[in-house]
Amino acid sequence: MGKDVIIACDFDSAEKTFAFLDLFKDEKPFVKIGMELYYAEGPSIVREIKKRGHKIFLDLKLHDIPNTVKKSMAVLSRLDVDMTNLHAAGTVRMMQGALEGLTRPDGTRPMLIAVTQLTSTDQESMEKDLLIEKPIADVVMHYAHNAAVAGLDGVVCSPLEAGKVHERCGENFVTVTPGVRFADGDIGDQKRVMTPAEAKKVGSDYIVVGRPITAAPDPVAAYRRCVAEFVD
Ligand code: C5P
């Protein structure tokens, strides 16, 4: 599995996004487009970033009835993104529908990964709001297993869970891990973090890094530092 650093482009406009991407002259980083930017600018932002030569992880976390997700995924696959995602809570049947929709007539498709439980959901809110009474670690692993059963490529998870996910779902099942900070950096609102080097050691396949790169005084140098620690 090719390890890579994905930059979370959490900007609210195309203008800010391009001002950021223009800083990169020699490399074309893999970028994540989330709901904020996608809803602000629509599908044209995906086409434009793709045209500039970047790989794209479109982070829209779909969750609906299987037929709706299947048809929506077909639209996203025509946008030529490289990776997209959904909520595993939508059930195995929804995930299977998503894969069908995502597969292009020539048999190719973007990578599809699942969100298990959001890191903003804790044991208490899961029990009180969702009436799920199992330990959250078991729920995360069960959802990851469901994603593997449905045929998905992997999950978004904490780097702290990457090793266990590989144990349960296989070495080739991809782990995409946010919550990455430099050893000497500010952790901001993230609670449990790892450095790029530690994420590499525990077997993360892709790290998603936002503010340590986007808010750095020299974003290109910060990106290169991530790549040096995680990939090289
Ligand atoms: O700026 P920072 O490095 O914290 O950005 C991390 C990115 O990963 C953000 O886009 C955030 O929404 C996303 N993410 C996360 N934790 C999750 C899932 C996604 O931080 N559990």
Mean pLDDT of the chain: 96
Q: How far is the CA of 109 from the centre of ligand 1 (A)?
A: 24
Instruction: Give the nearest ligand 1 atom to 190 CA.
Output: 4
> For ligand 1, is residue 201 a contact (CB within 6 Å)?
no
State pLDDT tens for residues 128-183: 999 999 999 999 999 999 999 999 999 999 898 999 999 999 999 999 999 999 99
- 61 in catalytic set: yes
Q: Tokens in use for 82?
A: 């490289």
Q: How far is the CA of 195 from the centre of ligand 1 (A)?
A: 14
pTM as predicted: 0.96
Q: How far is the CA of 50 from the centre of ligand 1 (A)?
A: 21
Return d(Cα 21, Cα 157) in angstroms, integer. Answer: 26
> For ligand 1, is residue 208 a contact (CB within 6 Å)?
yes
pLDDT band per the 50, 70, 90 thresholds, residue 120 = confident
Handedness of CA 25, 30, 35, 41 (dihedral sign): positive
> For ligand 1, is residue 119 a contact (CB within 6 Å)?
yes
**Amino acid 15: pLDDT:** 97
Which of these, 189, 184, 177, lies nearest to 216 by C-alpha position?
A: 184
Q: Are 79 and 112 in contact (CB under 8 A)?
A: no
> For ligand 1, is residue 10 a contact (CB within 6 Å)?
yes
**Amino acid 109: pLDDT:** 97
Substitution site in 140, 155, 158, 208 for ligand 1 pocket (most atoms within 8 Å of beta carbon): 208
Rounded alpha-carbon distances, angstroms, from residue 180 to 184, 193, 204, 206, 232? 12, 5, 11, 11, 17
Ligand 1 atom 10: residue of nearest CA? 8
Q: How far apart, in Å, do the first and last CA atoms of the chain sit?
A: 14
**Amino acid 174: pLDDT:** 98
Strands (E) located in 54-212:
56-62, 83-87, 111-115, 154-156, 174-177, 206-209
Ligand 1 atom 21: residue of nearest CA? 119
Identify any residues that bridge with 208 across adjacent strands, giving them in sequence order. Answer: 6
pLDDT band per the 50, 70, 90 thresholds, residue 188 = confident
> For ligand 1, is residue 178 a contact (CB within 6 Å)?
yes
Selected catalytic residue, list 3, 50, 61, 164: 61
Instruction: Give the nearest ligand 1 atom to 118 CA.
Output: 21
Ligand 1 atom 16: residue of nearest CA? 178
